[in-house]
Amino acid sequence: MANKATSSSSVPLVEEDEEELVYGSESGWVEARTNCDHLATALSSDLTHIPTPDTHCTRCHHSNENWLCLCCLDVLCSRFINKHMLEHYQETTTHCVALSYSDLSVWCFSCDAYLDAQVILPLRPVYETAYLLKFGEAPPVRPVEYVLQV
Ligand SMILES: [Zn+2]
Ligand SMILES: [Zn+2]
Ligand SMILES: [Zn+2]
């Protein structure tokens, strides 16, 4: 029998919060949460029929890079235009999760953070639908788990 143990002499086991180990180290990937407590109330029951990415802001008719409210499926402009998505959240507070038609990122206003739409299962279908509408093809599969080799 060969002795398979090689390294790992006396490394103390550090308790790490694996939920927080996201893709911050990958080049350019913004750190996104993999959980959100607001999805139960913030998501529409029908996320399969969403407006197309070129839908104008329903308030000021700004034409691109708008946000989709995943609660009522309203399309509203970003904080860099007339802040209508932000206004919408401030008026309702329950409509806190929105998908960007600019880069398909998902933002939760209540968490004040991006959500990882490929890891959070309730978000994945609407992400894939939006991707299909925007690019005309299904999104590439991104590996969601890394095997840490020590
Ligand atoms: Zn949240
Ligand atoms: Zn607007
Ligand atoms: Zn809404």
- Give the number of C-alpha atoms closer than 13 A to the C-alpha of residue 40, restricted to the C-beta side: 1
Mean pLDDT of 5-32: 52
Ligand nearest to the CA of 44: 3
Q: What integer pLDDT is reported at residue 141 of this predicted model?
A: 77
What DSSP string runs through 95-139?
--EEEETTT--EEETTTTEEE-TTTSGGGHHHHHHHHHHHHSSPP
Ligand nearest to the CA of 123: 1
Q: How close is the Cα of 36 to the center of ligand 1, in Å?
A: 4
Quick one: how far is CA 97 from the chain centroid? 9
- H helices of 5-123, where? 39-42, 84-92
How many percent of the chain have pLDDT more than 70? 74
pLDDT at 143 over 90: no
Residues with C-beta atoms within 5 A of ion ligand 3 = 69, 71-72, 74, 95
Q: How close is the Cα of 4 to the center of ligand 2, in Å?
A: 62
Q: How close is the Cα of 114 to the center of ligand 1, in Å?
A: 9
Q: What integer pLDDT is reported at residue 15 of this predicted model?
A: 53
Q: How confident is the model at residue 23 (pLDDT cuts 50, 70, 90)?
A: very low
Report phi then psi at 75, rounded to 5.
-105, 125
pLDDT at 26 over 50: no
Is CATH 3.40.50.720 the right assignment for the domain spanning 37-135? no
Q: What is the pLDDT of residues 60-110, one digit of tens each?
A: 999 999 999 999 999 999 999 999 999 999 999 999 999 999 999 999 999
Q: Please, what is the average pLDDT of the chain?
A: 84
Q: How close is the Cα of 66 to the center of ligand 3, in Å?
A: 13
85, exposed or middle or buried, with CB in 10 Å at 0-12, 13-18, 19+?
buried
